[in-house]
Structure 1
Amino acid sequence: MKFERSRGLPPRSQRFDLGLRWVVVLAIPATIAALFVWCAGWFSPRPSAPRIVDAFEATTTPHPGFRRNHAKGICVTGHFESNGNGELVSRASVFAPGRYPLVGRLSIPGGDPGQDDGAGAVRSFALRTVLPHGEDWRIAMNSVPIFAVRTPQALFEQLNADARDPQTGRPDPEKMQAFLDSHPEVRAFDRYLDQHLPSSRYDNATYYGISAFRMTDAHGVHRFVRWEVVPDLPYRPVDARKRRDPDFLSYDLMRQLATGPLRWHLVLNVAMPGDSIDDSTRQWANSPSRPRIDAGTFVIERAQTQIDGPCRDIVFDPTILPAGIAPSSDPLLAARSSTYHVSLERRTWEEAAALANGH
């Protein structure tokens, strides 16, 4: 003790307290930094949004400036005619009777904007409905009512299995088979495709929101729903003649719109006991006792090319919702939101770089 005091040091107990305080002070920012990198997925085996987008890119050749999935599509504009029935389950402004403008996009899955339409087994429909008081509602739907996989990790594994082999330029069938063997939930998706041929046109397909969403009505009552949009036109399967035209989907859409608007009814399917709320690989039973609410009509009036059309820079993030609608705990919703935004950042940067280089 005399030695410590002779050198101007505080007693050992005080130095211990001082050291402990410094440990706490330094540990707080270190913990925050660690949480940040963990959430970003930099040092975690779980897939971050950039890693998932990287995996999408590995399934095709580079196509700068285009979406990493659903690269081929067409913009549409129109409005939503709400009939007020949706207020039975939600206080969202979109369900108040009225007419609300929208911008949308019809597309097929895949990262190649030049692929033939006949290669697409699924049709996709995305919408942004502009609402009062600065709100909007964004929907991303497919013509299949379920997803192939349940989690972002499974999606990441699926994309890796579908990645192009550098030697052959094609996916490795052994990797895909290993993925399918380890993910039996994919069988339900494959069975649906086997039993439901893709539609002959964009405008005669039913589109499904797939994930569940939580609705809150004016009394604060919560209900979960899955929505679908059902066309006025009858479904017809695609045939061999159609498949010979590489762009038959957009061509037929433009031709049909020249004769008048196209309409889909928004149907809200209310969850029943036993329905899965957080697993989008499981289809809800088609029960006659299930409440189904026709909440209004999506009306498409015009179509424009995606290169310079109004949908070009829209992120159809399914978690952008008006008050009265909220995401469920389905893990794919957050993953879709983050990957869509990473895709936008990359294609925006690529367009800027091309302009800077005079291309």
Structure 2
Amino acid sequence: MPLSENKQTNETAGNLVKTLKGAFGTPPGYRVAHARGRIATGTFTPTSEAATLSKAQHFSNETPVIVRFSSSTGIPSIPDNDPNSMPRGIAVRFVLGNNGHKHTDIIAHSTPHFPTRTGEGFLSMLQAIGNGTIGKFLEDTPSAAAFVQEPKPFPVSFGTQKYYGLNAFEFISEAGKSTFVRYLVVPVAGLQTLSEADIKDKSTSYLFDELADRMAKEPIEFKYFAQIAEEGDPTDDVTKHWPADRKQVDLGTIKLDKLESESESLGDEKKIIFDPIPRVDGIEPSDDPLLDMRATVYIIGGKERRAAPEAKMVNGGKANVDDDVLKAA
């Protein structure tokens, strides 16, 4: 997973990592965004229709997966019942061979919005938070305002949350046909959320506790969908939605049957660098400028994380950070 070939992208990505760490006071050894997380493993079983859209090998074969569930911000101790812990995140690694070194990943979160079209725009938003001009920034940037204002109800479980992959990708079939898609990861158990009254009685670790309890009883399953673009649908702007009536194709089922122990998860937390760019035959990145930026942020942050001293698993605890930073992040 290399740095970008674009010098400006590398510079902006480095500034994003530095700014995020400063905003959240992220300890060494943790991710600069979605620092609190837990890893589960299982399998992906594709549908027959998946292989008609893309020749990627995991669409033709049952494939091992590594899945990370996470909470927002770079604070590893952020409480599960804190509104600032949303949106929730999911990262899915399809292990394609070579002792896990060959893989392709998907990254999604629990809101259909992202605040800016570019990494430079996101850095400007963080700078606006830091210098106290975030109100003006939100007035001038409707996509950022939409991200902040979108309702983000607390989920009953990581396994009852819907996740949106906002970037567009190009599927290439065996026959060479091109299809642009966006991803949806939908819980088989159904979308289940909590009321504001319900959440008041929940503990600061309720989601991660529930995840362990649920997986001790039964696997967690998700349906992995591709929303199909039609002519004129933008593929270079995550802030613009495709019409809701666009066809959705069921690509297969993600079934998780093992939750890593905290010690196992901590090791993988430090080691695994998820990659927003597919890097697999049959799936190509679109012209979305955020893809290269996100990949570069992840590799810079990941290398720093791997080089850090041994981290400790952190649970609970009220985060000591400015609420304005969290609400706009």
**Partners in 1 of 2:183 and 2:12 — Cα distance?**
28
Which of the residues 235, 247, 253 maps onto 2:211?
253
Question: How far apart are residue 54 of structure 1 and its match?
Answer: 0.6
**305 and 241 in structure 1: CA distance in 2 versus 1, 3 angstrom threshold:** farther
Q: How many Å separate the matches in 1 of 2:238 and 2:248?
A: 19
Using the aligned pairs only, state the percent identity: 27
> Which whole-Å CA distance do the structure 1 matches of 2:87 and 2:179 have between them?
29
Q: Which amino acid letter does the alignment assign opposite residue 212 of structure 2? A: M
For the 8 Å contact 1:93–1:132, the answer to whether it is kept is no
What residue is the counterpart of 1:272 in the other structure?
Answer: 230
**Once the 2 structures are TM-superposed, how far is the Cα of residue 158 of structure 1 from its aligned partner?**
1.5
Q: How is 1:1-359 mapped onto 2 (pairs within 5 angstroms)?
A: 39-41=6-8, 47-96=11-60, 98-119=61-82, 120-132=85-97, 135-163=102-130, 174-191=132-149, 193-194=150-151, 196-239=152-195, 240-243=197-200, 244-287=202-245, 290-305=246-261, 307-309=263-265, 311-312=268-269, 313-351=271-309
Report SS of the residue matched to 2:65: strand
Separation of aligned partners in 1, 2:229 and 2:198: 40
Give the ranges of 4+ consecutive aligned residues of structure 1 lying more than 6 Å apart after TM superposition.
Answer: none
Question: Which residue type is aligned with residue 57 of structure 2?
Answer: S
> Any conservation in 2 of the 1:80–1:299 contact (CA below 8 Å)?
yes
Say if 1:201 and 1:249, in contact at 8 Å, map to a contact too.
Answer: yes
SS in 1 for 2:62: strand
Partner of 2:320: none
Quick check: which has more Rg, 1 or 2? 1
Separation of aligned partners in 2, 1:126 and 1:48: 23
**What is the CA-CA distance between 1:223 and the residue it aligns to?**
1.0
Instruction: Considering Cα pairs closer than 8 Å and 6+ residues apart, tell me whether 1 or 2 has the greater RCO.
Output: 2
CA distance in 1 between partners of 2:104 and 2:144 (Å): 29
Aligned residues: 302
Superposition RMSD in Å: 2.4
- Matched to 2:118, the amino acid is T
Letter in 2 for 1:113: P
When residues 65 and 278 of structure 1 are mapped into structure 2, their CA distance, relative to the original with a 3 A threshold, is same
Structure 1, unpaired ranges of 5+ = 1-35, 164-171, 355-359
TM-score by length of 1: 0.78
**Structure 2 unaligned blocks of 5 or more:** 313-329
- Normalising to structure 2: TM-score of the pair? 0.85
Partner Cα separation in structure 2 for residue 132 and residue 345 of structure 1: 23
Contact 2:104 2:275 in 1 (8 A): no
For 1:274 and 1:224, locate their aligned partners in 2 and report how far apart those are by CA, in whole Å.
11
